[in-house]
Structure 1
Amino acid sequence: MAYRVAVVGATGAVGREVLKTLAERGFPVGEAVALAQGRTVGAEVSFGEAAVLKVRDLDRFDFAGMDLALFSAGAAVSAAHAPRAAAAGCLVIDSTPRFRMEPGVPLVVPEVNPQAIAKRPRKGIVANPDGAAIQMVMALKPLHDIAKVRRVVVATYESVSGAGKEAMDELWSQTRGVFVNDPPAPEQFTKPIAFNVIPHIDAFMEDGATREEWTMAVETRKILDPDIQVMATCVRVPVMIGHAEAVHAEFERPITERQAREVLRAAPGVTLLDARDDGGYATPIEIAGEDAVFVSRLRRDPTVPNGLAFWCVADNLRKGAALNAVQIAEAMHANGTLGTRLAGILPASEG
């Protein structure tokens, strides 16, 4: 069966990656529609090696007859348009924060909790998790299956592409400006990002955590296990693509390095790259464009009972966004829940 597929936010970094990923993986697309708003309407985007799509106006687009819509145009856009797409019978996979913690909306990493999409959600919306949360639960899942994670302390080192194309442009222009002694003032970040690190991603909350740090905790619990405690410090770094994380996990029972290595080697979507010598670990620059979550620096954490520490890296535009969204669609195609149009879809704001 071939599907009619709309990509919302098609001119953005994630939207372009979604189109690329759909084509590369041979997803059964009968018709592809690229959607955006504002000045990018009318622009052209590539779909596969030969096809070019002219971007259509999201505000005027009728989703009736579409099977699938992949949203990555920001939370406000999803809030306005994802419910109307779902109401038209189109399955929505939303890569923004808007619906992730909403009751009745599955939050899915197919290698971790495919049972969440065993049936089509009544609201017609599936949420794609935060990119930093995706790669952490991918690495934790095989370990959790054999020893059960109790607590995680994580520091993230997140690339500027996680904040969008404008943030990538700011890093580039500031880096260039440093060398001519005329760096532009920050616009996308609170402080200069070139040659700097900023321990601040998203808004601050009352307890002093940022929303990204809160997200790491609540999304891990929703996807993997509601009893896991997570303490996160999230940092923006001057890297174009690829998030990295230093993870310290405490388990309910003993787990050896050997056991951890065995299950990580066998885990789908995870690559263990961990040689204890110079360069025997993954870094963002070398995994850009790769699909896997790479785990390195695996070792015992002697400061807590049953502790392990590791480093994990992933391309946040691929597995952290576009690839995971397409894999959700693939899983629903495989289990027969994609293309099953529902009448009387619940509005996304209802429980």
Structure 2
Amino acid sequence: MAHLERMTACSYQAVSGAGLAGMHELESQTRAWAAGEKVAGQLFPRPILFNVFPHNSPRQPDGSNEEEHKLVRESRRILGHDHLRVSATCVRVPTLRAHAVALHLEFANAISPAQALNILAHAPGVRVVDESNGDQPADPQMVSGLDEVLVSRIRVDHGGASGKSLALWVVGDQLLKGAALNAVQIVEFLIVA
């Protein structure tokens, strides 16, 4: 069993996370741009078309936003680890649906990318995209409408403890499964195996 000591999650969240209005805003901005018209933000604080910005949820006293606090809180709750060191950055991106998360995990004991790939390949609701077979890393278009969460880019995290740190790319359709839940369940499979 792998004991998780630290998790850093950078979440790239589709406009559908803001509901149908978010999707409509991206679509209308696309039409305006194609027609040569000025693109303006309404629901979002600025135009989302061709843009990326920190999640538009309310800011917290510590400088993070509400969505980042939620990701930290839910990760600890789901993993049953109240004092887990979690760092989160949530960003709004101009895709219609499906969120992506860059996960950096540090464990108490050694774990290799091959071990993680083997564990996740047998996890229900997860599909590992193995780039060594020539497959492209997962992206929002690949998972839109899928019940499965796709995991790719399973590799050593050279910024963490030697032999104990992994980096993964997780993509899931948040309209079918909660945004933070996708990434946290991937971590859960690794620490239970």
The superposition leaves residues 52-90 of structure 1 with CA deviations (integer Å, 9 ceiling, x where unpaired) of xxxxxxxxxxxxxxxxxxxxxxxxxxxxxxxxxxxxxxx
* 2:115 aligned to which of 243, 251, 259: 259
Q: Using a 3 Å threshold, how does the CA distance of structure 1 residues 157 and 254 change in structure 2: closer, same or farther?
A: same
Partner of 2:153: 297
Superposed, 1:99-178 pairs within 5 Å as 146-178=1-33
* 1:313 aligned to which of 159, 171, 176: 171
Is 1:216 aligned to 2:71, yes or no? yes
Displacement of 1:177 in angstroms is 0.7
Partner of 2:191: none
Superposition misfits of 4+ residues, deviation over 3 angstroms: 276-279
Q: Using a 3 Å threshold, how does the CA distance of structure 1 residues 147 and 188 change in structure 2: closer, same or farther?
A: same
Q: In structure 2, what residue type is equivalent to 1:240?
A: L
The superposition leaves residues 160-190 of structure 1 with CA deviations (integer Å, 9 ceiling, x where unpaired) of 0010001100000011111222134211101
Q: In structure 2, what residue type is equivalent to 1:165?
A: L
Name stretches of at least 5 consecutive residues in structure 2 with no aligned partner. Answer: 183-193
* 1:269 aligned to which of 121, 125, 128: 125
Displacement of 1:278 in angstroms is 5.7
8 Å contact kept, 1:242–1:288: yes
How many residues in Structure 1 have an aligned counterpart in Structure 2? Answer: 177
* SS in structure 2 at match of 1:147: coil
Displacement of 1:228 in angstroms is 1.6
Q: CA RMSD in A?
A: 1.6
8 Å contact kept, 2:129–2:135: no
Provide the C-alpha distance between the structure 2 equivalents of 1:198 and 1:278, rounded to a whole number of angstroms.
Answer: 32
Displacement of 1:201 in angstroms is 3.2
Provide the C-alpha distance between the structure 2 equivalents of 1:201 and 1:266, rounded to a whole number of angstroms.
Answer: 36
Provide the C-alpha distance between the structure 2 equivalents of 1:162 and 1:296, rounded to a whole number of angstroms.
Answer: 22
8 Å contact kept, 1:175–1:183: no
Partner of 1:285: 141
Provide the C-alpha distance between the structure 2 equivalents of 1:182 and 1:280, rounded to a whole number of angstroms.
Answer: 35
Provide the C-alpha distance between the structure 1 equivalents of 2:139 and 2:74, rounded to a whole number of angstroms.
Answer: 24
* 2:101 aligned to which of 215, 237, 245: 245
Normalising by structure 1, we get a TM-score of: 0.49
8 Å contact kept, 2:32–2:38: yes
